[in-house]
Chains A and B, each alone.
Chain A
Amino acid sequence: MRIFLNKKTSMYQIFRSIASSAMVFVLFFSSSLFAQDGATLFKNNCANCHSPGAKRGTGPGLQGFWDRIPGGDEAGKTKWLVNWVKNSAAVINGGKDEYINKLYAEYNNYPMQAQPHLSDDEIVAIKDYLVNYVAPVEDASGSSAKKNPFIESEQKDNTLLNWLLGLAIVFLVLAVALAGIKRNLQSTLDEKQGVTRQYLPFPKNLFKWMGEHKLQAGFIILLIKIILLVMLYDWTMGIGVYQGYQPEQPIKFSHAIHAGENGISCVYCHHSAEKGKHAGIPSVNVCMNCHKGIQEGTWTGTKEISKIYAAADYDPATGKYGDNPKPIEWIKIHNLPDLAYFNHSQHVVVGQIECQTCHGPVEEMTELYQHSELTMGWCIDCHRKTEVKMEGNGYYNKMLGELKEKHKGVDVFKVEDIGGLECSKCHY
């Protein structure tokens, strides 16, 4: 075992040294940033409004943008791009850039947010990523992408279950009929042989049988009892657990489109997840950041988006807000009992837990549902399994030292080890 481990380590080390020398090589011959970083930078800074493909979002799709933008040669275009990204407001207000003037009008006079925090290199990295971007090839049949998930009736395939149930009934009828025939035959036989047999009516015959076969009867009764108890236990344990809860929301909002297809970061809308206990349902003004530009939905046309406008009291034709906004009454899906205190920022920022760990594949959910049980057992289970991200967090320095001192040779500690199962961590 030990040898194997060592072998593995050495293999890993060799692999790593090769990789790192390759890295040095690449670093030596290329600019300091890679297209890979460009992808991350794009996702974090641009993807909320721009598609890397041709699709129009709040802003234009960026496929082929490098050929479109002014500036002449490579260097000129880079200069123009850096200036625009870092200082878009000045360019728009200057009003001298024909290309921008046209775009600005096309996008309902909705300006691009300046990104002054990006360095020139970073902007070039994003550009490189976009120029080399190849849109993923859509499924040839196109079935899943082309169907409107909201209109499609989501009937579950119960055929097999129905067949089995039908068969069971047929067999039961058959068994009863056969038993009748058997009895008739028996009585005919008895009559012929002149035997008189006493037939006890149900359930006396059952009791008689049970009296004669005590062991078997006892076993069957015990089995039935156990099954009933297990069913009762399961049923009671399910009270108050709403896993899979999928209420109909006032707006047919699709996380699959927003988080999945458009790749909008979760915390763009649920920004308080990084700050406080509530992840927060975004207020209408957050929706309007993008939907001032995007006025038609992928599947529902203007029908659902117009509900946002109604809530914000916004007239898309004139681009003006009224003074009678009404909040949207969403149905809350993830409900914790009042006696439990849960803080999103503790888990998202300190624990660095992905949203999907608890909320499931939200980016694939057309209509959101409750993915996890949200029971105390479920919380505890995770606290037993999850490592605390102690390294690099000054808060844990002292604690980590003390723990390492106590448990020599152990480097990682679970939430449980620092008191994560205690009552008043969540109940007060």
Chain B
Amino acid sequence: MSKQKKYWNSIQHLEGDAKFVENANKEFAEYVPVDEFLSDEKIETATTSRRDFLKFLGFSVSAATLAACETPVTKSIPYVNKPHEITPGIANYYASTYYDGNDYASILVKTREGRPILIEGNEHSTVSKGASARVNTSVLDLYDSKRVQGPLKGKQAISWKKADAEIKEKLNTVAQSGKQVVLLSSSMISPTSKRLLSEVSTAFNGAFKHVVYDAISYSGLLDANEKTLGSRVIPTYRFDKSKVTLAIGADFLEGWLLSSKYAADFAKVRNPEAGFMTKHYQIESKMSLTGANADERYTVKPSEQSKVTVLLYNELAKKAGVAALKASSVKGSEQFVAKIANDLWSNKGASLVVSASNDVNTQLVVNKINELLGNYGTTLDVSAPTLIKQGKDKDMLDLIQDINSGKVGAVLTYGVDPAFNLPASLKFAEAYAKLDLSVALSYKLDHTAKISNYVAPVNHYLESWDDAEPISGSLSLTQPVIGKLFDTRQWQDSLMKWASVEPDYYTYLQNAFKAVGGQKLWNTSVHDGVAKGTAKPVAYTPVSAADIAAAGEAIFNTKTADLEVELYYNVTGDGTRADNPWLQELPDPVSKVVWDNYIAMSPSQMKELGLETNIQQEIPANLATVKVGSNEVTLPVFPSPGQAKGAISIALGYGKALVKEELVGKNVANFIALDAQKQMSYHAAASLEGSTETYLMASSQTHHTIMDVDPKDPEKGRKIVNETTLEGFAKGREHYNPLITLADAYGEQKTTKELNLWEDHPYDTFGHRWGMSIDLNACNGCSACVTACHSENNVPVVGKDEVRRNRDMFWLRIDRYYSSDMNEQVAKENELGAWEMYSAMEQPSDNPQVVFQPVMCQHCNHAPCETVCPVAATTHSNEGLNQMTYNRCVGTRYCANNCPYKVRRFNWFQYDAYDKFTGVNPAQDDLSRMVLNPDVTVRSRGVMEKCSMCVQRIQAGKLDAKKKKQKVQDGAIKTACQTACPTNAISFGDLNDQTSEVRAKFNDDRAYFLLEEVGTQPNVSYMTKVRNIKESQS
């Protein structure tokens, strides 16, 4: 039973580290450096005496008083010609599309007085749902003052006219001299841009080539598909049709291909109440977000992922009666390969196997597996393939060679930064310097732009026109929602100028749409953001016996090393978005580390090597040096439960962003190796040398530990996470979510509602009562809601140092708990005694189960914070909200101390003014400040803040209903976190409306309240997590 299960958020939590326990019992685990301050010798020689101090104090007080007496003159400057669609104070929404070469999302952009301030998911889209963290933070990039603000020649500013003339002349010279002009870009899913490129090619008499380079490469998968599908496309994976899903290394819920679609599809079949609940297996090396959500997860080394794929193929081949491949055994794989194969085989045609490997051979085997299972046409949709990745690694290598050989004379780069993302061994920069002309069509002065002859700055996507076709036949449109902030030009327009293609891209795009569906299609596309095109289906051709045998042979020949390093991309992406403080401050969904990359290693292996696993505020991590071939990088080592032993993982995309002239993390691109097929390989044999040198890290995982979670004594601990198995779920509520009763003074068992010290608020029967329900089965921990909340509520960014001091400001955090695989049932089966069982529970499992739980203010009806506030700054509204009034708050922090959920945040500093946060907090920059939501107060130093349940949206929604003279429609008011969620895990509405979705979810059998025993009666409920496993496995 889940209640007897142990949950722990970190190694130190599990081990009951004294410091951790001390901190967990406080709201603020701050370290106050009093001794340091007093022992400062300079204090003695300070020239400011006490009397001076009093003088300053008196002066400033009187100056402030005098200043307050004068009427401040505020100007109000109306438009000369007010645009028809803008009414001051009312937000406008525009449909658009986000695509940066990696992530795709159809979005709605919320603008206020012409300024985009928030990005939400577009409900019209059939492809993407919600807006992931990378998508919804992109609005801040628009206001980045580090953007290239005008064309550059070398480092000198130049006018567009001059730059155009010079570039045009040089391009023509290159083309006429018989050399090639190359456009080097990331994957391009805009059909109109592609058509434009063919016209540009004609303009250069064919001496033009488009090379696609993806920093996050899917080249192996595409090459394998080229053989089986006839074209370099990816079948559209239908996770919502698969009853058994196996992902090998693929983080398909966060970041892998069209994850915004997959997460939504997957959530649909993870609902225990729906027709079926899919079974999800994951085989991987590091604990990925998807792995953390898997029903059953197995760890192998990176190189063994391919070998396991072959073993699985052989197992299925046996069942299908076809020839097996030459295979090497993988230690420990016996226990799961056969089991997974059985499960897959019994769900033929309704199963799905995906792999993240960039190795063509492995992907060929995966394709063959899906063919054996008859999944093509069912869970692998080939009638409308996915187009969002197109890069071919070999093309990039050929380009470098062609530059060196003089075949290519000019390179225009767009959307890529090969000088940063490619390993130095490929000598890209050296080749690039040899070009006759290099132009970076760049947004930032990145590594490649710095070594280019010219920089032709491009618009932000929120300033551009474009279209996109992520899945064949599903079109969407990107439209500008603000005028250009700087002297920039979208890359298509630049290219059209240089190749003398008329007229401009906007007209070009419009004409393309009008040619298909006339003005009507254009208008509806601009309005809805999406349009239907014609899909180009592909046909699956079976992989030949010779090919698959060769593939098996090649995989057999790959070597496994004692220690392997795996390179991956985390939530910050490939480095192009690294300057975004919202993304950097967002804790990694699994490790919860911020503002750093690190070496992720299994805790038990760390202990063997004598590395510090108990990393805390003042306990630094050990640095270690990883060597791959002749390259080495020194990074801190961070414990990662669930990491395969003998494998370490490091995130790419770091070592690019600068905070106060210091790099955030380190770039490990040099570890990327080329395999035999000239594909980028993201894993390699490595050696690691630990050192005694240390490094302070910031990870929010030990922060805000909910009261009385004591893994040492689970009986004593209160229920935080409620989970069960599908088996347990079928047994009914009594079994997995029993009613919580407590004994009163006379020993009588009463429910928390009956056992009540206080008088109830009257809102149960009056007006609105706002409530939220979070489905832990749908929530996969992706953290899109966290950044959406940041964006909507002007939550300050505080930087690494402050996060390390437990002073992060998240109104909404996602708690991640590990749990060991020992429980009462297992103990019974293995005939273990109680003592043995509990000691086994304390063993950090090498492969723990993971639960994600978003926690925000629970808006308790009997809120402990309200009763302790001496100035009534936090009170209860008659709509069930726990209100926080900043201007009343005097900062006693009693409320935070009394909050069992630890959701209250204190403004320790004036984050928008104090120089410690310059370059970290966007509100300090005049331009970045534009992103602030004008309906939400920017809090000052010394006050508490917390989730308001987006009260500004509630008020706006109510007003809208009042003006329409109707009741508030269910679903009309959405919180910011809800709009970002790709899986509909968050429901919000009026609990007094008996027909509302949230009311139904509150009444559901799976509903439970966080720490219900405390008697706070929250207005936020959670839905029990159901795993598709056997009771004995839980």
Contact of A281 among B71, B78, B958 (CB under 8 A): B78
A residues 107-163 touching B (CB-CB < 8 Å): none
> Which of B81-89, B536-544, B839-847 participates in binding chain A?
B81-89
**CB-nearest residue of chain B to A350:** B962
Indicate whether A275 sits within 8 Å of B962 (C-beta atoms), given known contacts A328-B78, A399-B767: no
- Determine whether the beta carbon of B963 is less than 8 Å from that of A406: no
* B214-245 interface with A by 8 A CB criterion: none
For chain A, residues 326 to 345, give those with C-beta under 8 angstroms from any C-beta of chain B: 326-332, 335, 338-339, 341, 343, 345
Q: Are B885 and A330 in contact (CB under 8 A)?
A: no
Report whether B875 and A423 are in contact in the complex, using a CB–CB cutoff of 8 Å.
yes
Instruction: Enumerate chain B residues within 8 angstroms of A398, measured Cβ to Cβ.
Output: 767, 967
Residues of chain B within 8 A of A276, CB atoms compared: 87-90
Which residues between 363 and 420 of chain A lie within 8 Å of chain B, taking CB atoms? 392-399, 402-403, 406, 418-419
Contact B887 A240 (CB under 8 A): no
A398 to B68, CA, bound (A): 46
Contacts known (A276-B87, A422-B883); A247 close to B966, Cβ less than 8 A = no
Stretch at the interface among B151-159, B351-359, B476-484, B947-955: B947-955
Asked if A325 is at the interface (CB within 8 A of a chain B CB), the reply is yes
Q: Does A312 contact B (CB under 8 A)?
A: yes
Asked if A346 is at the interface (CB within 8 A of a chain B CB), the reply is yes
Whether a CB of chain B sits under 8 angstroms from the CB of A239 is yes
Known contacts A341-B952, A422-B875, A280 near B887 by CB under 8 Å: no
Flag if B883 contacts A283 (CB, 8 Å): no
**B877 touches A (CB below 8 Å):** yes
Shortest CB distance B570–A (Å): 33
- Docked Cα-Cα span, A341 to B959, in Å, equals 13
B147-204 contacts to A (CB < 8 Å): none
Chain B interface helix/strand/loop/mixed: loop
Compute how far the CA of A394 lies from the CA of B79 in the bound complex, rounded to whole angstroms: 36
- Contacting pair B885 A427 (CB below 8 A): yes
Number of B interface residues at 8 Å Cβ cutoff, please give it.
Answer: 50
CB<8 Å pairs between A and B, sample of 24? A272-B89, A275-B89, A276-B90, A277-B89, A278-B88, A281-B76, A327-B79, A327-B80, A329-B75, A330-B76, A335-B74, A345-B963, A394-B964, A395-B961, A396-B962, A402-B765, A402-B766, A406-B766, A419-B767, A422-B877, A423-B875, A423-B888, A424-B881, A424-B951
User: Is B968 in contact with chain A by the CB < 8 A criterion?
Assistant: yes
Check A183 for interface membership: any CB of B closer than 8 A: no
Q: Distance in Å from the Cβ of A247 to the closest Cβ of chain B?
A: 7
B75 to chain A, nearest CB (A): 5
A399 to B769, CA, bound (A): 12
Return the contact of B885 from the options A280, A394, A418, A423 (Cβ within 8 A): A423
A66 within 8 A of partner (CB): no
Check B63 for interface membership: any CB of A closer than 8 A: no
Cβ-neighbour of A428 out of B79, B878, B952 (below 8 A): B952
- Residues from chain A with a CB closer than 8 A to the CB of B75 are 329-332
Known: A240-B68, A394-B966. A284 touches B881 (CB 8 A): no
Interface residues of A (CB under 8 A from B): 239-240, 242, 245, 247, 272, 275-278, 280-286, 311-312, 325-332, 335, 338-339, 341, 343, 345-346, 349-350, 392-399, 402-403, 406, 418-419, 422-425, 427-428
* CA of A343 to CA of B89, assembled, Å: 9
User: Given that A239-B68, A419-B767 are contacting pairs, would A327 and B77 also be in contact in the complex, using a CB cutoff of 8 Å?
Assistant: yes
Query: Is the CB–CB distance between B959 and A343 below 8 Å?
Result: yes
A285 to B83, CA, bound (A): 10
A325 contacts across to B, CB distance below 8 A: 80-81
Query: What CA separation (Å) do A288 and B115 show in the bound complex?
Result: 27
Contact A424 B948 (CB under 8 A): yes
- If A277-B89, A284-B80, A331-B75 are given as contacts, then 13 extra A-B residue pairs at C-beta distance below 8 Å, sorted by A number, are A240-B68, A272-B90, A275-B87, A280-B78, A312-B80, A330-B77, A330-B78, A341-B955, A343-B89, A349-B962, A395-B965, A418-B767, A427-B883
Question: Which A residues are CB-close (under 8 A) to B935?
Answer: 341, 428
Chain A residues in 8 Å Cβ range of B556 = none
B residues near A345, Cβ cutoff 8 Å: 959, 963
Are A428 and B937 neighbours in the complex by a CB distance under 8 Å? yes
Cβ of B46 under 8 Å from chain A: no
| Chain B residue, CB-CB nearest to A398 | B967
Q: For B879, give its contact among A242, A275, A419 (CB under 8 Å).
A: A419
B230 CB to closest chain A CB (Å) equals 55
B894 contacts partner chain A, Cβ-Cβ < 8 Å = no
Residues in A neighbouring B968, C-beta threshold 8 A: 395
Interface residues in B923-977 by Cβ distance below 8 A to A read 935-937, 948, 951-952, 955, 958-959, 961-968
B877 contacts across to A, CB distance below 8 A: 419, 422-425
Interface string of B884-899 (1 = CB under 8 A from A): 1111100000000000
B69 at interface by CB-CB < 8 Å: yes
Query: In the complex the two chains form, is B885's CB within 8 Å of A285's CB?
Result: no
Chain B residue contacts of A272, Cβ below 8 A: 87-90
Query: With A and B bound together, what is the CA distance between A395 and B87 in angstroms?
Result: 24
Are B951 and A428 touching (Cβ within 8 A)? Answer: yes
The answer to whether A399 touches B766, judged by C-beta atoms less than 8 angstroms apart, is yes
CB-contact partner of A283 in B65, B73, B80, B881, under 8 A: B80
Chain A residues whose C-beta falls within 8 Å of the C-beta of B321 in the assembled complex: none
Closest Cβ of chain B to A190, distance in Å, is 51
Q: How far is the CB of A67 from chain B (nearest CB, A)?
A: 40
Cβ contact of B878, chosen from A332, A343, A419, cutoff 8 A: A419
B72 at the A interface (CB under 8 A): yes
Which B residues are CB-close (under 8 A) to A424? 877, 881, 883-885, 948, 951
Question: Could you tell me which residues of chain B, from 744 to 760, have a CB within 8 Å of some CB in chain A?
Answer: none
Cβ of B951: which chain A residues have Cβ within 8 Å of it? 424, 428
Instruction: Tell me the bound Cα distance from A240 to B65 in angstroms.
Output: 11
Kindly list the 5 A-B residue pairs having the minimum CB-CB distance in the complex, ordered from nearest: A276-B89, A277-B89, A424-B883, A283-B82, A332-B76
Contacts of B68 in A (CB 8 A): 239-240
A339 touches which one: B82, B886, B948, B958 (CB < 8 A)?
B886
Q: Evaluate contact between B959 and A350: CB separation under 8 angstroms.
A: yes
Contact B71 A245 (CB under 8 A): yes
- Is A285 a contact partner of B82 (Cβ separation < 8 A)? yes
Knowing A419-B767, A419-B879, A424-B951, the reply to whether A394 touches B80 (Cβ < 8 A) is: no
Shortest distance between the CB of A392 and any CB in chain B (Å): 7
CB-defined contacts of A245 to chain B, threshold 8 Å:
71
**When each residue 81-112 of chain B gets 1 if its CB lies under 8 Å from chain A and 0 otherwise, what string results?**
11000011110000000000000000000000
Q: Tell me how far the C-beta of A384 lies from the nearest C-beta in chain B, rounded to whole angstroms.
A: 15
- Report Cα–Cα, A327/B71, bound state, in Å: 23
Expressed in whole angstroms, the Cα–Cα distance for A189 and B211 within the complex equals 122
A393 and B961 CA atoms in complex are apart in Å by: 9
Check if A346 sits within 8 Å of B962, measured CB to CB.
yes
Q: Shortest Cβ distance from A237 into chain B, in angstroms?
A: 12
Shortest distance in angstroms between B876's beta carbon and chain A's nearest beta carbon?
9
Closest CB of chain A to B597's CB: distance in Å? 37
Nearest-Cβ distance from residue B572 to partner chain A, whole angstroms = 31
Q: Could you tell me the distance in whole angstroms from the C-beta of A383 to the nearest C-beta in chain B?
A: 13
Query: By the criterion CB–CB under 8 Å, are B78 and A284 in contact?
Result: yes
Pair A427/B886 contact, Cβ less than 8 Å: yes
Asked whether, in the complex, the Cβ of B967 is within 8 Å of the Cβ of A395, the reply is yes
User: In the bound complex, what is the Cα–Cα distance between A240 and B79 (angstroms)?
Assistant: 29
Q: How far is the CB of B176 from chain A (nearest CB, A)?
A: 42
The answer for the CA separation of A69 and B65 in the assembled complex, in Å, is: 67
Residues of B contacting A406 in the complex (Cβ-Cβ under 8 angstroms):
766
A346: chain B residues at CB < 8 Å are 959, 962
Which chain B positions have C-beta within 8 A of A396? 962
Q: Are A428 and B948 in contact (CB under 8 A)?
A: yes
- Distance A145 CA – B884 CA, assembled complex (angstroms): 53
> Are A239 and B962 interface neighbours, CB within 8 A?
no
Given contacts A282-B78, A425-B955, contact A275 B90 (CB under 8 A): yes
A277: nearest residue on chain B (CB-CB)? Answer: B89
Chain A, residue nearest B73 (CB): A331
A167 to B1014, CA, bound (A): 74
Q: What separation, in Å, do the CA atoms of A76 and B766 have in the docked complex?
A: 61
Assembled-state Cα–Cα distance A427/B936 (Å): 9
Residue numbers in B under 8 Å from A402 (CB-CB): 765-767
